[in-house]
Amino acid sequence: MLLSQVETPSYIIDEGKLIKNLKVLERVQQEAGCKILLAQKAFSNFCVYPLIGQYLAGTTASGLYEARLGKEEMGKENHVFAPAYKEADMDELVKLCDHIIFNSVAQLMKYKDKCLKAGVSIGLRVNPECSTQGDHAIYDPCSKGSRLGVTLSNLQQAIENNPDVLKGVDGLHFHTLCEQNSDDLETTIEVVKEKFGQYLNKMSWINMGGGHHISREDYDVNRLIRIIKDVKETYDVDVYLEPGEAIALNAGYLMTEVLDIVDNEIKTLILDTSAACHMPDVLEMPYRPPLMNSYEWDKKPYKYRLSSYTCLAGDIIGDYSFNREIKVGDRLVFEDMAIYSMVKNNTFNGIPLPSIYLQKQDGDCQLIKKFGYEDFKNRLS
Ligand SMILES: Cc1ncc(COP(=O)(O)O)c(C=O)c1O
């Protein structure tokens, strides 16, 4: 089926663009000698896990369900990090995961023996307290009072109370970036070395988290490779990265249709999609998603506000302008819709979930999944 023939609303994963990203990541792995994991929180479309598994070392999870999905559908290295684990989940996780990362010394001490008995490699997430992102405070794990990762002073205190705290711990993990370039990683690494280098000397691996926008056009891949090689040599450790966005960046679309046009000083297009339901990051972050064949608000003669058919007044996707008049029945295509979209969507207002298609490299769009009333009803009681 051609892209122009898929029903709306639909997400379309672009296999060719996915492969393009994976090739960049493969180069990093080969030239830096590191391992890259898919952070499933950004993209969990397991129909392409066999493809992703051809390039990457494995998966990382935010909890039990993602860990199970990674094991079932990719079956390579399987890591997990969560701010805390429930006991029942840990019983399962030690069977599913080869690496388990803890967020606090208390969690580490609670589950250390269980992990060691199961032969799981243990990691501890540290907080370098080095903020490098200005715009998005809710995505900054280094903000003041952050619950994410053990600070140096808390770690020192814990070791003072119990010198065996790090016994059995194989790796350190940090995650501080969000859509950032390797200059910010370089800044962070300097702080990590200064604060945690003494502990890293005794570890066998370090995980530098996600947020590395490696597949973005302007990303300095050579600098990333240099940083990784330096850390590997200095501390004699294996290096992991676990990006989510970089894997499927710009590798998906959301196809929608114009249902109505409301003219109240501003022309608003009512679409059969929703920021709140189908692209929640647009409201959460917030940001204005790229839209094919559209321009900034004041650039072209035909100006529209793009909105949704939910009841939420603020369910507004953004203001755009076009070369041509938009009519009811026209189809519009949002870009960069593979990441943090399908994993976060919902059926608020009983709005249907978009179908999922995979566009093969020859342009053919294959239906992966269609959703219906039962998917809405089954989440409720
Ligand atoms: C611990 C951890 N690892 C990896 C990621 C993936 O980050 P991104 O999708 O920005 O690359 C996140 C995102 O929040 C995270 O919290």
Please tell me the distance between residue 298's alpha carbon and the centre of ligand 1 in angstroms.
Answer: 35
Over the stretch 6-21, which tens digit does the pLDDT of each residue have?
999 999 999 999 999 9
- pLDDT at position 54: 98
- pLDDT tens digits, residue range 194-228? 999 999 999 999 999 999 999 999 999 999 999 99
Cα-to-centroid distance, 330 and ligand 1 (Å): 36
Alpha carbon 39 to its chain centroid, in Å, reads 6
Ligand 1: centre distance to CA 168 (Å): 25
- Protein residue with least CA distance to atom 9, ligand 1: 244
Q: With respect to CATH, is domain 3-11+252-337+345-377 assigned 3.20.20.70?
A: no
What pLDDT was estimated at residue 364? 98
Q: Could you state, in order of their start, the residue ranges of all structural domains in the chain?
A: 3-11+252-337+345-377, 33-248
From 41, 52, 342, mutation site for ligand 1 pocket: most ligand atoms within 8 A of C-beta: 41
Decide if pLDDT at 87 tops 70.
yes
Q: Which residue's C-alpha comes closest to atom 4 of ligand 1?
A: 210
Which amino acids bring their CB within 6 angstroms of ligand 1? 39, 41-42, 81, 175, 178, 209-211, 242-246
Closest by Cα among 320, 343, 340 to 330 = 320
pTM above 0.95, yes or no: yes
For the segment(s) 33-248, the CATH number from 3.30.540.10, 3.30.1330.10, 3.20.20.10, 3.40.47.10 is 3.20.20.10
Q: Note the Cα 355 to chain centre separation in Å.
A: 21
Over its C-alpha atoms, the chain yields an Rg (Å, rounded) of 22
Residue that the structure tokens 């199970």 belong to = 68
